[in-house]
């Protein structure tokens, strides 16, 4: 059974800092991995998707990496801003079926 | 813009009174999902439709049912809501077969059970 964990559970940083969020999964037989952002009381917004054959994806100040063999992904946020404050979740899609399994998220606070 | 729309955004019901949440999509995605998310927890998959094929998760209570009358719409029925069913319910879609199999979410429906 695929299990996804995210460390740390919460993170508070001053504005302008670069930071890394971590995602770990137990079964390396994945099709892809997706990072999401969730604002309080809202749905999830897709940030980046990495296919199992890829090592990283970039979008603006965000960079996501994937090391499938070790069951790890990281989300790097450069020059953090208060508007980046949200919960960041990762989800993996198994190599079979349609199910996406989510981690519990990292709650990020960027202080002005 | 193509999107996933959930209604209602907020639903208050009484213990045991049936509730229906709706989800519509203009993305023409063939897979639709219902997730339950409780406070500070990971979204938990309840079930999904691959086209008309219904796929129930093994640990989804019988109290939860779903209908997908056509490609665009999917409903979540909670037959007898209990206090433990209070949560955010998230609908999502994806298109199987594409390389970039992005999961797209609606804004969610927050259920309160009194």
Give the distance from CA A65 to its chain's centroid.
9
Distance from CA of A23 to the nearest CA of B (A): 13
Could you tell me which chain A residue has the CA closest to the CA of B4? A43
B97: phi > 0 → left, psi -120 to 50 → alpha, else beta; which?
left
Tens digit of each residue's pLDDT (9 = 90 or more) over B53-96: 999 988 999 999 999 999 999 999 999 999 999 999 999 998 87
Cα–Cα dist A8/A106, whole Å: 6
Chain B residue with CA closest to A48: the answer is: B102
Cα distance between residue A84 and residue A33, in whole Å: 21
**What pLDDT is attached to residue A97?**
67
Say whether pLDDT at A59 is over 60: yes
The nearest alpha carbon in chain A to B33 belongs to A99
A50 vs A53, B83, B103, CA distance in Å? 8, 38, 12
CB contact under 8 A, B100 and A42: no
Secondary structure of B58-91 as H, E, C letters: CCCCCCEEEECCCCCEEEEEECCCCHHHCEEEEE
Q: Using the beta-carbon criterion (under 8 Å), do A49 and B92 form an inter-chain contact?
A: no
Task: Count CB atoms within 10 A of the CB of residue A62.
Answer: 17
Q: Is A84 helix (H, G, I), strand (E, B) or coil?
A: helix
Beta strand A44-51 with A30-38 is antiparallel
Share the mean pLDDT of chain B: 92
| Helix then strand then coil, % of chain B, to nearest 5 | 5, 50, 45
**Separation CA B70–CA A48 (nearest Å):** 29
Inform me whether the pLDDT recorded for A96 exceeds 70: no
Pairwise CA distance, residues B85 & A109, whole Å:
29
What are the tokens at B24?
């519509």
- Mean pLDDT across the stretch A27-41? 91
For A73-85, how does the pLDDT look when each residue is reduced to its tens digit (9 = 90+)?
Answer: 999 999 999 999 9
A49 in contact with chain B, both atoms CB, cutoff 8 A: yes
* Contact: B42, A102; criterion CB under 8 Å: yes
Query: Mean pLDDT score of chain A, rounded to an integer?
Result: 93
């Amino acid at each position: 059974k695929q299990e996804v964990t995210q460390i740390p559970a919460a993170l508070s940083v001053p504005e302008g800092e670069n930071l890394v969020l971590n995602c770990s999964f137990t079964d390396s037989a994945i099709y892809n991995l997706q990072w999401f952002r969730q604002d309080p009381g809202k749905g999830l917004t897709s940030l980046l998707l990495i296919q199992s054959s890829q090592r990283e994806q970039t979008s603006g100040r965000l960079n996501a990496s994937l090391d499938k063999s070790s069951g790890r992904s990281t989300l790097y946020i450069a020059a953090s801003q208060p508007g980046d404050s949200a919960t960041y979740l990762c989800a993996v899609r198994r190599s079979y079926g349609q199910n996406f399994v989510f981690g519990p998220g990292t709650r990020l606070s960027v202080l002005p | 813009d193509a999107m996933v729309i959930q209604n209602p955004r907020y639903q208050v019901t009484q213990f045991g009174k049936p509730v229906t949440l709706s989800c519509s999509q203009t993305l023409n995605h063939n897979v639709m999902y219902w997730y339950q998310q409780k406070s500070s927890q990971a979204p938990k998959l309840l079930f999904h439709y691959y086209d008309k094929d219904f796929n129930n998760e093994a640990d989804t209570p019988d109290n939860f049912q779903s209908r997908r009358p056509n490609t665009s719409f999917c409903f979540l029925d909670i037959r007898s809501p209990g206090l433990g069913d209070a949560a955010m319910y998230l609908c999502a879609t994806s298109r199987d077969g594409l390389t970039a199999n992005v999961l797209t979410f609606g804004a969610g429906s927050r259920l309160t059970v009194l």
